[in-house]
Amino acid sequence: MTLQAAQGGAVSAAPPSRIPDRRRVLTMRRRTWIASALFLLPAVAYIVLFFGAPIVKNLTMGFQDYTTATFYNGEAPWVGFQNYVDMFESPVFSIALSNTFVFTIASIAGQFVIGLAFAVFFRRRFPLAGPIRALMLLPWLLPLIVTGAIWKWLLDKDSGAINRILEALHLTSTGIPWLDSPSLALLSVILVNIWIGIPFNLTIFYSGLQSIPDELYEAASLDGATGWKAFRHITWPMLRPVTNVVLVLGVVYTLKVLDIILGLTNGGPANATQTLATLSYNLSFTQFEFGQGAAVSNVLILISLLFAAVYLRLSRRSEAAE
Amino acid sequence: MKPRTTRVAWIAAASAAAVLGLSACSDGTGGGTASGDATTLVVQDYYGDEPQKTVIGDLLDGCAADMGVTIQRNVVAAPSLVQKTLQQASAHDLPDVLMVNNPDVQQFAQAGYLRPLEDFDIDTSGYPDGILKAGSYDGTLYGLAPGVNTLALFYNEDLLKAAGVTPPTTWDELKAASAALSGDGKYGVAFSAVATYEGSWQFMPFLWSNGGTESDIDTPEAIGALQLWTDLVQSGSASQSVVNWSQADVADQFKAGKAAMMVNGPWQIPGLEATDGLNYGIVQIPVPAAGDTLIDPLGGEMWTVPNTGDDAKEKKAAELVACLNSDKSQLQNALAQNYVPARSSLGTQVVAQVPQMQTFVDLVANARGLTAELGPDYPGSATRIYTAIQSALTGSLPPAEAAAQAQAMK
- Residue A25 pLDDT greater than 90, yes or no: no
**Residues sharing a CB contact under 8 Å with residue B377, sequence separation 6 or more, in sequence order:** none
Q: Given this model, what pLDDT does residue B24 score?
A: 38
Share of chain A above pLDDT 70, in %: 90
Q: Which residue of B has its CA nearest to A174?
A: B185
Q: Who among A158, A177, A270 is closest to B396 (CB)?
A: A270
Of the listed ranges A34-43, B36-45, B155-164, B241-250, the least confidently predicted one is: B36-45
Q: Domains of chain A by range and CATH?
A: 82-321 (1.10.3720.10)
Q: Given this model, what pLDDT does residue B210 score?
A: 97
Mean pLDDT, to the nearest integer, of B328-357? 92
Q: Who among B5, B20, B83 is closest to A12 (CB)?
A: B5
Mean pLDDT, to the nearest integer, of B112-122? 93
Q: Cα separation of A269 and A311, whole Å? A: 34
| pTM of the entire predicted model | 0.84
Which chain B residues touch A95 with a CB distance below 8 Å? none
- Residue A20 pLDDT greater than 70, yes or no: no
Q: What is the mean pLDDT of chain A?
A: 87
- Residue B339 pLDDT greater than 50, yes or no: yes
Of the listed ranges A50-64, A90-104, B45-59, the least confidently predicted one is: B45-59
Cα B147–chain centre separation: 11
Query: Between residues 145 and 184 of chain A, which touch chain B (CB distance below 8 Å)?
Result: 152, 156-159, 177, 179-182
Task: Report the residue count for chain B.
Answer: 410
State pLDDT tens for residues B159-200: 999 999 999 999 999 999 999 999 888 999 999 999 999 999
Q: Which residue of A has its CA nearest to B385?
A: A270
Phi-psi sector, A4: left (phi>0), alpha (psi -120 to 50), beta: alpha
**Residues sharing a CB contact under 8 Å with residue B115, sequence separation 6 or more, in sequence order:** B142, B304, B305, B306, B307, B314, B318
- Residue B221 pLDDT greater than 90, yes or no: yes
Of the listed ranges A1-15, A85-99, B151-165, the least confidently predicted one is: A1-15
Which chain B residues touch A42 with a CB distance below 8 Å? 16-17, 19-20
Contact assignment for B86 to A270 by CB distance below 8 Å: no
Share of chain B above pLDDT 90, in %: 78
Q: Given this model, what pLDDT does residue A17 score?
A: 52
pLDDT, greater one: A200 or B31: A200
Q: Given this model, what pLDDT does residue B118 score?
A: 93
Whether the Cβ atoms of residue B226 and residue B386 lie closer than 8 Å to each other: no
Contact assignment for B241 to A182 by CB distance below 8 Å: no
Contact assignment for A158 to B258 by CB distance below 8 Å: yes
Q: Given this model, what pLDDT does residue A319 score?
A: 67
Q: Which residue of B has its CA nearest to A183?
A: B396
Q: Who among B5, B197, B390 is closest to A269 (CB)?
A: B390
Q: Which residue of A has its CA nearest to B185?
A: A158
Query: Between residues 382 and 401 of chain B, which touch chain A (CB distance below 8 Å)?
Result: 383, 386-387, 390-391, 393-394, 396-397
pLDDT, greater one: B231 or B39: B231
Contact assignment for A13 to B110 by CB distance below 8 Å: no
pLDDT, greater one: B206 or A305: B206
Mean pLDDT, to the nearest integer, of B29-56? 75
Of the listed ranges A97-101, A223-227, A264-268, B12-16, the least confidently predicted one is: B12-16
- Residue A9 pLDDT greater than 70, yes or no: no
Q: Within B182-326, where are the H helices?
A: 197-209, 220-234, 247-255, 269-273, 311-324
- pLDDT band (50, 70, 90) for residue A283: very high
Q: Which residue of B has its CA nearest to A41?
A: B17
The alpha-carbon gap from A283 to the nearest alpha carbon of chain B, in Å, equals 9
Q: Which residue of B has its CA nearest to A35?
A: B10
Between the CA of residue A276 and those of A293, A304, B138, B402, what are the distances in Å? 9, 12, 35, 22
> 3-state DSSP call for residue B279?
coil
State pLDDT tens for residues A154-200: 999 888 899 999 999 988 888 899 999 999 999 999 999 999 999 99
Contact assignment for B111 to A180 by CB distance below 8 Å: no
CB distance from A88 to chain B under 8 Å?
no
Of the listed ranges A50-54, B3-7, B27-31, B356-360, the least confidently predicted one is: B27-31
Query: Between residues 265 and 304 of chain B, which touch chain A (CB distance below 8 Å)?
Result: none
- pLDDT band (50, 70, 90) for residue A22: low
